[in-house]
Amino acid sequence: MTTTDHLSTDPDVPSAPTGRRIGVMLPRDLPPHEVLHFARQADALGFHELWVIEDLGFRGGVAQAAAVLAATSRLTVGIGIAPAAARHAAFAAMEIATLGQLFPGRIIAGLGHGMPAWMRSLGLWPASPLTLLEETATAVRSVLRGEAVPQGRYVTLEHEEFTELPDVVPPVLLGVRGPRSLALSGRIADGTLLAEPAPPTYIRAARSHISATGPHQLITYDVAAVSNDSGQALEAVRPGLAYIGEPDWAPHLVDLDFADDLAALRARCDSPHEFARQLPLTWVDALSLAGTPEGIRAKIAARHDAGATSVVLTPVGENRLSQLEQLAQVQ
């Protein structure tokens, strides 16, 4: 079988879109009866991508991706992200290859370390997270391309066992934060996924660490709300920024002129939720895609100008289906 990297020559198969894309996040806690309706609405409203997440205790990424791919006809669906330690590379490759066969050109696979606290609670945090991620991503990409898999410290498998491969090879992205992990992504992956918040300063800093020498997708997440009253929209996303003061989020604040003040505010607050309540609206504005449709379009353009190939909007609050229609105004 001859595989094609990312793009298909078959006119009936959708190619993975490139350039300035706009996606939307499928909320992890959306009621089950709303999940497929949300996906169909995102498809009908013209979003380029729909991203599903795999947070511990909620829903599996591969299962969600398969369901929404089957329920839609046009959307590219991204898995952002599957922790490398949660599945052996062989089984991760099988799942991704299956989705690639069934839905050619419509799946993007995201891999990452996973949240350290969650992975430690499961006894899955490796002695060398960077090595495990590199070996897993390399093995998955090799299997999808029908290539030999380098034998490593954590990953051992024979590629000859894999015969069910997709004609359109799904891109494999790394969802990472730290400088060494970003550099790894630039070296071995088809792209990088940056979690929220992803202001232009963070995008530019991340790109400097990624330093990819070839084509490299850069997907960014941000909490989002649209209203003709920009203050109302900013208040709506405030709870979605509750955890940006925690240590793991420090890379997102690089080069922001209020980064030190933000850290000081978090130190004074007893909880992430109190911290979110006290965030000045100017900071909320800088760290979200909230505001009027015109204002959000300008923020999206700034992220694209900084290097994002796809900007993903994360709806917040109670009625996410209604918000989806409002978010579609920014396209």
Sign of CA dihedral 164, 166, 167, 172: negative
pLDDT score for 324: 95
Sign of CA dihedral 247, 313, 193, 126: positive
What H or E segment, with its residue span, contains residue 218?
A: strand 217-226
Distance CA 114, CA 172 (A): 16
**pLDDT band for position 16 (50/70/90)?**
very low
Distance CA 281, CA 235 (A): 8
* Residue 10 pLDDT > 60: no
Q: Please answer whether residues 39 and 75 qualify as being in contact, where contact means their C-beta atoms are separated by less than 8 angstroms.
A: yes
Q: Residue 56 gets which letter from DSSP?
A: T
Distance CA 24, CA 19 (A): 16
pLDDT in tens, 116-170: 999 999 999 999 999 999 999 999 999 999 998 988 999 988 766 788 899 999 9
Read off the pTM. 0.92
Query: What region does 60 belong to: left with phi over 0, alpha with psi -120 to 50, or beta?
Result: beta
Cβ neighbors of 88 (< 8 A, separation 6 or more) are 155, 157
